[in-house]
């Protein structure tokens, strides 16, 4: 079982202790993400005039928006992956089908070669018989 980590981070110029089973680096990355969001909001003049509750609500809405957009990207990528897997399956099936057909054609070619060799032998035999009959006459 993973060990619980306590990591001190600074979010919006305040010190917090985050606890989780994730690595220290991951928890620092989460704090950095939140700080980046705060920095984006602070660039807007109107943000400074808002009440703290509204600021927090806007931050939550913004993070939730990011989450749902990323979730939609994941769904889209999963759909694309499934389509590619289906396409790959179809291609593999076609390759197997073509390989089977190729094997059958090779067998047919080998049979035709054998028949050709037998026909050539028959021609030589008949030519020999013809020559022998001509010499006897």
Look at residues 57, 76, 75 and name the one whose alpha carbon lies nearest to residue 65: 57
Angle between helices 24-42 and 52-136 (to 10 degrees): 120
* Cβ atoms of 18 and 7 closer than 8 Å: yes
pLDDT for res 107: 98
| pLDDT at 135 (0 to 100) | 85
User: What separation in angstroms does the CA of 40 have from each of 10, 44, 55, 59?
Assistant: 16, 7, 12, 10
The backbone region for 13, taken as left when phi is positive above 0, alpha when psi lies in -120 to 50, beta otherwise, is left
- Give the Cα separation of 48 and 41 in Å (integer): 9
Q: What SS3 state is found at 135?
A: helix
pLDDT score, position 134: 85
Which mean pLDDT values do the consecutive 10-residue runs of the chain (137 residues) have?
90 95 95 95 91 94 97 98 98 98 98 96 94 83
């Amino acid at each position: 079982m993973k060990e619980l980590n306590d990591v001190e981070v600074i979010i919006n110029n305040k010190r917090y202790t985050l606890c989780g089973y994730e690595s220290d680096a991951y928890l620092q990355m989460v704090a950095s993400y939140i700080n980046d969001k705060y920095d984006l909001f602070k660039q807007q003049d109107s943000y400074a005039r808002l009440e703290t509750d509204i600021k927090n609500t806007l931050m939550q809405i913004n993070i939730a928006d990011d989450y749902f957009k990323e979730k939609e990207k994941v769904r889209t990528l999963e759909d694309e992956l499934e389509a590619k897997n289906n396409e790959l399956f179809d291609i593999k099936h076609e390759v197997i089908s073509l390989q089977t057909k190729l094997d059958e054609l090779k067998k047919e070619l080998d049979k035709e070669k054998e028949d050709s060799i037998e026909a050539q032998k028959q021609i030589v035999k008949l030519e020999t018989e013809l020559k022998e009959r001509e010499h006897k006459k």
